[in-house]
Every structure is written in structure tokens, then in C-alpha cells.
């Protein structure tokens, strides 16, 4: 399978749909770890492959550095998902996601905050980088 912008857009739609389903069932006000486990179950139910909470390698001058970057979810080896359950949305969350995308050479990422009333309208933000624009449509 060739990675395309269209495929990534469809995958993003599926992942956001999974988050909406979790939010619909669980509501807001729980810990991030609860939403993380529920979303993993929902992704499994939808047969979407992912890695959960793995260390992101950082290499400098051919040496892997011991930096503790942990990605919440890495979907189908191309989509980074960072989960939050916070009252106050901080710009550092976006910087964190963009860093993970760059280090993993992932073309797209989604920041999902479950502490909201509506995931689609206020609880998710999607990002693309230079890798996305290089993909075929």
C-alpha cells in the first residue's frame, strides 16, 4: 500500500470518529489514562493498527540519545495521536505533537482533548508537516 494524502485523511476521519465514540460513551471529566485505554479498545474494535506509549528515538551524530519522548498513539506507522484531558489548552501541547511528528517523520498528527463538550468542534486539532505535502494525493 502506498501512503497518500487521501489515505491519511480517511485514517484521520476514522481515528477522530473513534475518539468521538469514546467521548460519547465515557463523557468528559475523566483522567487521560482512562480515555487512552478506551481509545485503544475502540481502535482494536475498528481493526486499526497502532503502537501505544512507545519511546520516540532521538538520534544525533549517529548516536541514539536517552530522551524520554513517549508517543501516546502512533497509528498505522504514519499518524501521531497525542491525547489530553485538560481544562486549559496550552500551546506546548501543539509543540509536543509537532516534535513527535518530525522525529517519527510522520506526515500528520492529531491532538485530542477529551475534556470538552464536543470532540469534533472543540476537542481535536489536526496538523500536517512537510512530509504530508510530499505525498501523492
22-31 pLDDT, tens digit each: 999 999 999 9
Task: Please give the Cα distance from 124 to 114 (Å, whole number).
Answer: 8
What average pLDDT does the segment 82-97 reach?
A: 94
Residue 48: give the domain boundaries.
5-130
What average pLDDT does the segment 71-96 reach?
A: 95
Q: Is position 135 within any domain?
A: no
Q: Please spell the DSSP secondary structure of 26-39, one letter per residue.
A: H-SSS-HHHHHHHH
Q: Is position 43 within any domain?
A: yes
- Read off the pLDDT band of 54 (50, 70, 90): confident
Q: Is position 136 within any domain?
A: no
pLDDT at 1: 65
Number of domains making up the chain: 1
Q: Is position 137 within any domain?
A: no
- Read off the pLDDT band of 47 (50, 70, 90): very high
What average pLDDT does the segment 41-59 reach?
A: 94
- Read off the pLDDT band of 2 (50, 70, 90): confident
What average pLDDT does the segment 57-66 reach?
A: 90
Q: Is position 113 within any domain?
A: yes
Task: Please give the Cα distance from 112 to 63 (Å, whole number).
Answer: 32
pLDDT at 89: 86
Mean of all residue pLDDT scores within the chain: 95
Q: Is position 18 within any domain?
A: yes
Query: Which residues contact residue 98 at a Cβ distance below 8 angstroms, ignoring those fewer than 6 apart?
Result: 109, 127, 129
Buried b (16+ CB within 10 A) or exposed e, 65-103: eeeeeebbbbbbebbbbbbbbeeebeeebeebbbebbeb
Amino acid at each position: 500500500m502506498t501512503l497518500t494524502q487521501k489515505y491519511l485523511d480517511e485514517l484521520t476521519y476514522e481515528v477522530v470518529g473513534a475518539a468521538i465514540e469514546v467521548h460519547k460513551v465515557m463523557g468528559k471529566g475523566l483522567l487521560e489514562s482512562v480515555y487512552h485505554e478506551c481509545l485503544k479498545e475502540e481502535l482494536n474494535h475498528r481493526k486499526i493498527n497502532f503502537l501505544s506509549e512507545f519511546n520516540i528515538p532521538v538520534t544525533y551524530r549517529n548516536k541514539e540519545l536517552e530522551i524520554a519522548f513517549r508517543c501516546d498513539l502512533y497509528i498505522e506507522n504514519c499518524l501521531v495521536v497525542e491525547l489530553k484531558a485538560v481544562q486549559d489548552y496550552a500551546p506546548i501541547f501543539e509543540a509536543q505533537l509537532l516534535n513527535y511528528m518530525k522525529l517519527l517523520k510522520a506526515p500528520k498528527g492529531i491532538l485530542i482533548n477529551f475534556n470538552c463538550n464536543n470532540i469534533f468542534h472543540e476537542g481535536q486539532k489536526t496538523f500536517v508537516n512537510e512530509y504530508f505535502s510530499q505525498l501523492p494525493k
